[in-house]
Amino acid sequence: MIEYISGSLAELTPTYAVIDNHGLGYLINISLTTYAELEGKADVKLLIHEAIREDAYVLFGFATAQERVLFQQLIGVSGVGANTARMILSAIAPSELEIVIVSGDDKKLKAVKGVGAKTAQRIIVDLKDKIKPADSTLTLEQTPSNDAFDEALAALLMLGFAKPQSQKVLSKLFKEEPTLKVEKAVKKALSML
């Protein structure tokens, strides 16, 4: 088993990286999240997941252990292959994906290309109890999944506020007043941020 590969970055694209390790070039499939981490670096280290099949030997690389663990958990779900898992991790950041799964937000999972309603539900059912979000302050109760919350969050993000703080403030507001309108929620949140 290969645990990690480090070396100089010979080539980088949004879907794969080539790492030169003492004259041997490893083509490693990556997500957009890892791509963003590697951009602009000369020497890199990627944690590896090997997929050995009858017809291919494929390497998947990850910038963080959290992303690799999520990838391995995703491919353990029936109907989720390595490319679908990589697509999910490209569309949703690992820390956000943990919250999406724990909160049962299948809408965000279905928005990922190649993930249907049944697959999204299966991912949530299979992984909900296995995942402990890194940011434990955001729990199911604190991330309402109504449209007003989503719109207010999008507005705050467009105004340049950080997502974790915005979610925390909006969660508090919607917990106190579940029928809050978007405009009022944004105004109240602005005074709290």
d(CA 9, CA 134): 29
Helices assigned H by DSSP within 39-81: 65-75
- Does CATH place domain 147-192 in 1.10.8.10? yes
Please tell me the predicted confidence (pLDDT) of residue 180: 82
Residues of each domain in the chain carrying CATH 1.10.8.10: 147-192
Q: Cβ–Cβ contacts within 10 Å for residue 40, how many?
A: 8
For domain 4-62, the CATH architecture is: Beta Barrel (2.40)
Residues of each domain in the chain carrying CATH 1.10.150.20: 65-127
Is there a contact between 119 and 80 (Cβ–Cβ < 8 Å)? yes
* Confidence grade of residue 119 (pLDDT, cut at 50, 70, 90): very high
DSSP string, 138-184: --TTTS--SHHHHHHHHHHHHTT--HHHHHHHHHHHHHH-TT--HHH
User: Which amino acid would we find at residue 25?
Assistant: G
Give the max Cα distance, the chain.
Answer: 61
175 pLDDT exceeds 60?
Answer: yes
Task: Name residue, tokens 């090997």.
Answer: 50
pTM, whole model, 2 decimals? Answer: 0.68
Please tell me the predicted confidence (pLDDT) of residue 137: 46
Which has the higher per-residue pLDDT, 15 or 135? Answer: 15
Is there a contact between 161 and 153 (Cβ–Cβ < 8 Å)? no
d(CA 83, CA 60): 10
Mean pLDDT value across residues 51-58: 92
Mean pLDDT value across residues 120-136: 82
Please tell me the predicted confidence (pLDDT) of residue 19: 97
Kindly list the distances between the CA atom of residue 116 and the CA atoms of 71, 80, 113, in Å, as whole numbers in the listed order. 18, 11, 8
| CATH number of the 65-127 domain | 1.10.150.20
Residues of each domain in the chain carrying CATH 2.40.50.140: 4-62
